[in-house]
Structure 1
């Protein structure tokens, strides 16, 4: 893999595309493997129960982070070697190279973030092993080492988004960034379960937080691409993941239970645990946000205000529909009207923040790549 910049003379657009695509696809593949391991592990705990540190779902989680970590390390070492040889490094491969430990290493920013997440996953994995050895079997998502593991993978996926964003002049870079945001959104629906101990009656905190993150990530996509289709593309990616995992999660748990000779629990509901946390209404809500953003562009509304208003509308709609979704999926869940309205209102307020931050984070992602010729800096 040649990381040399265009100024060094190797340098066609096709060559740069081939240079960046392979490692970027590898870290995205590792992130998806981690996501598969997570949905499988959660379903296993729900439908079967007993596990060890080395169950097959856990190995998927470890393998995903290992792939991300090794790919990131390889790019960092190649970048360091190129810098020491006096060759300019193409900033489209993972972002601009920055010095690490003085000038010991030169690391593209995206791969530095993804690699740091993978390294912290290793440390939290060791803590989780010690935790299970001390306290035994534990099936709660919000134990300290579990939260650390989830946040570590989240950091790796954020790095993956940055890697693809650095190559936004290529179609694979733009599409990969949207796909990575979809993976990040799917993963975040589990991470927010760490808030389930927070009591803020009558608001359902976890669902309000899910609405906030959903708005945040789709608005990051909008702020990054600055064209119609970014929000819908990210929402469509989540819909595909949700549909696949809706089938995969229960099947994988039962198949693995049969393989190791363990019985499935008698009271299994058959509901796919992780996919049921993902907002089913995100796609139609995304269409509403696309219309609002398009109207804002065509009518010349204030650029900074339209994403905030769109985020508030999106948060309100998602907060309400997430409550209806839970009542539809879980027959025993019967929230009163006050709880539904309070959660919707809180989600709407949080959505304003998500729209504001998402648009600006998207703008920050644009800065990872060199400006293209004739690009409007104020787009």
Structure 2
């Protein structure tokens, strides 16, 4: 890709205005999160599904909305450059040339659009997969993994889009919400770590790693008090809503299509149950220890999450409290991974700050 430095002027026409396409991309990622939580609950409570189940349609609709909004921005930016009109770098970040400068794409929308495009390809594979094998009894099929990774890329693009407008209120709020959506969605990624160990130790460390990484990234990118705590509060709010919505939607849809629920259902919804309830505590630590090196804060935060994860699981599922030795092992491993997460998160946050010029023009 060829780098093309855009120009901006306060009197120039913005192509397009930043808030509208960013809101559509954000809404699409939120719709995908709701659809994913519903789909996972459906697999656990009911089991088989086809390509055109309602939870799948939520996933498709969310990715389609984000992809179309990204495409509109890319086409509008390309037309603006060809007509010699200035392109505001607040709209998705600096512009890069694509396919030999055939298209001019703000980097944030380029990432979100590429994620949506790959989602379409994996969606076609998923349709072929269902046509060949019929029902999926589990969520971890190869096309599903590709679909989930594609949505993650789109969510990363959404964070980048809002990070470029961090000097404006809507940019700050958007980054807080988009980061919170990415935190909640990343819990699905770490579920795959169940294959690493017989128990949940690897998953607990993975959850701690992803949460600390994203919190530290947001802290560095926003560089203002309250931002990280805002992410944790939004995550807690989404956790509460999905805790009620996912089981209800799975049961209501099963009744509507005439499929029975499985026996001995777990009262704890799957995706919301994976989200750490101690995230608000860790966010408070990140806020209060922001002057320390990122790797130190990451190690502390990851240790807290690693210790609390088995305690949360025992409390939610009514199991016996874990042995102290098992908790200490998870905590010891989480320290190392947390230090890496803190370091990487700080670096990623710094990269987000470079998506837009140091001084933006106020036009929110």
For the residue of structure 2 that corresponds to 1:98, the secondary structure is: strand
The TM-score, its normalising length taken from structure 1, stands at 0.89
Deviations 1:66-116 (A, max 9, x none): 001111000000000001001121100001111000011000000000000
Pairwise CA distance, 1:131: 2.3
Pairwise CA distance, 1:136: 3.4
Pairwise CA distance, 1:133: 2.8
Which deviates more from structure 2 when the two are superposed, residues 165-174 or residues 132-141?
A: 132-141
* Unmatched segments (≥5 aa) in structure 2: 1-5
For the residue of structure 2 that corresponds to 1:141, the secondary structure is: coil
Deviations 1:127-178 (A, max 9, x none): 2222233333233333322211111000000000000111111111011011
Say if 1:141 and 1:338 are closer, same or farther in 2 by CA, change over 3 A.
farther
Q: Is the 8 Å Cα contact of residues 64 and 116 (structure 2) preserved in structure 1?
A: yes
Aligned residue number for residue 299 of structure 2:
312
1:276 aligns with 2:285: no
Which deviates more from structure 2 when the two are superposed, residues 336-345 or residues 307-316?
A: 336-345
State how far apart, in whole Å, the 2-side matches of 1:327 and 1:51 are: 30
The TM-score, its normalising length taken from structure 2, stands at 0.93
Aligned residue number for residue 3 of structure 2:
none
Pairwise CA distance, 1:334: 5.7
State how far apart, in whole Å, the 1-side matches of 2:325 and 2:129 are: 40
Aligned residue number for residue 7 of structure 1:
9
Pairwise CA distance, 1:263: 2.2
Aligned residue number for residue 145 of structure 2:
147
Equivalent pairs counted in the alignment come to 356
Aligned residue number for residue 43 of structure 1:
41
* Unmatched segments (≥5 aa) in structure 1: 297-304, 374-379
State how far apart, in whole Å, the 1-side matches of 2:47 and 2:136 are: 10
Q: Is the 8 Å Cα contact of residues 47 and 138 (structure 2) preserved in structure 1?
A: no
Q: Is the 8 Å Cα contact of residues 46 and 261 (structure 2) preserved in structure 1?
A: yes
Aligned residue number for residue 331 of structure 2:
344
Deviations 1:317-355 (A, max 9, x none): 001101111111123476433222111111121110111
Aligned residue number for residue 188 of structure 2:
190
Q: Is the 8 Å Cα contact of residues 202 and 343 (structure 1) preserved in structure 2?
A: no
Q: Is the 8 Å Cα contact of residues 83 and 106 (structure 1) preserved in structure 2?
A: yes
Deviations 1:26-51 (A, max 9, x none): 00000000001000011111112222
Q: Is the 8 Å Cα contact of residues 48 and 136 (structure 2) preserved in structure 1?
A: no
Aligned residue number for residue 257 of structure 1:
254
Q: Is the 8 Å Cα contact of residues 141 and 194 (structure 1) preserved in structure 2?
A: no
Pairwise CA distance, 1:273: 1.0
Aligned residue number for residue 376 of structure 1:
none
Which deviates more from structure 2 when the two are superposed, residues 102-111 or residues 187-196?
A: 187-196
1:219 aligns with 2:219: no
Q: Is the 8 Å Cα contact of residues 39 and 249 (structure 1) preserved in structure 2?
A: yes
For the residue of structure 2 that corresponds to 1:7, the secondary structure is: coil
Pairwise CA distance, 1:204: 0.9
Aligned residue number for residue 100 of structure 2:
102
State how far apart, in whole Å, the 2-side matches of 1:145 and 1:329 are: 31
